[in-house]
């Protein structure tokens, strides 16, 4: 993401563009604020079992990529459900026969968000 210097903060270019658009049309005596989202990192880990005849390392790579893509695709303010990680793993490849030891930030709980938070993938580990 590109950054621009704001008056006192480093703002993403998208925020600067929003500020410029609002500033062009807001009433003279009104004020407004544009704030970038707060990023919440999601560290995910799990162990998968691969069906006989399939390359386990290749399947691990597919599942890891699928987890990162899913987490990074969540819209602003959308929580990350711990149980969804298992579904993403199964959906990544037909060779996944079992998913166990699923952890999200070291726990078995969802990551809740506010309307100003954005969940992004941190460390994703699949074994």
Query: pLDDT band at 14, cuts 50/70/90?
Result: low
Average pLDDT score over the chain? 88
The contacts of residue 97 (CB under 8 Å, 6+ apart) are 49, 50, 51
In terms of domains, do 24 and 43 share one?
Answer: no
Give the range with max mean pLDDT: 14-18, 67-71, 114-118.
67-71
In terms of domains, do 46 and 30 share one?
Answer: no
Domain total for the chain?
2
In terms of domains, do 29 and 84 share one?
Answer: no
In terms of domains, do 121 and 64 share one?
Answer: yes
Structure tokens at 17: 């563009």
In terms of domains, do 85 and 116 share one?
Answer: yes
Domain containing 14: what range? 1-34
In terms of domains, do 29 and 65 share one?
Answer: no
Nearest to 119 by CA among 110, 89, 127: 110
Residue 57 CA to residue 12 CA, distance in Å, equals 37
In terms of domains, do 30 and 62 share one?
Answer: no
Residue 76 CA to residue 85 CA, distance in Å, equals 18
In terms of domains, do 53 and 98 share one?
Answer: yes
Residue 19 CA to residue 25 CA, distance in Å, equals 10
**Which tens digits make up the pLDDT trace of 23-62?**
788 787 777 777 778 999 999 999 999 999 999 999 999 9
């Amino acid at each position: 993401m590109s950054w621009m210097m704001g008056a006192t903060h480093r703002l993403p270019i998208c925020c600067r563009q929003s500020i410029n658009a609002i500033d062009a049309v807001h009433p003279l005596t009104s004020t407004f604020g544009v704030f970038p989202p707060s990023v919440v990192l999601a560290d995910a880990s799990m162990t998968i079992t691969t069906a006989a005849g399939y390359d386990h390392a290749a399947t691990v790579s597919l599942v890891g990529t699928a987890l990162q893509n899913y987490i990074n695709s969540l819209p602003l303010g959308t929580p990350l459900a711990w149980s969804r990680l298992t579904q993403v793993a199964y959906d990544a490849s037909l060779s996944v026969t079992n998913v166990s030891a699923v952890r999200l930030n070291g726990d078995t709980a969802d990551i809740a968000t506010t309307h100003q938070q954005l969940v992004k993938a941190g460390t994703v580990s699949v074994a």
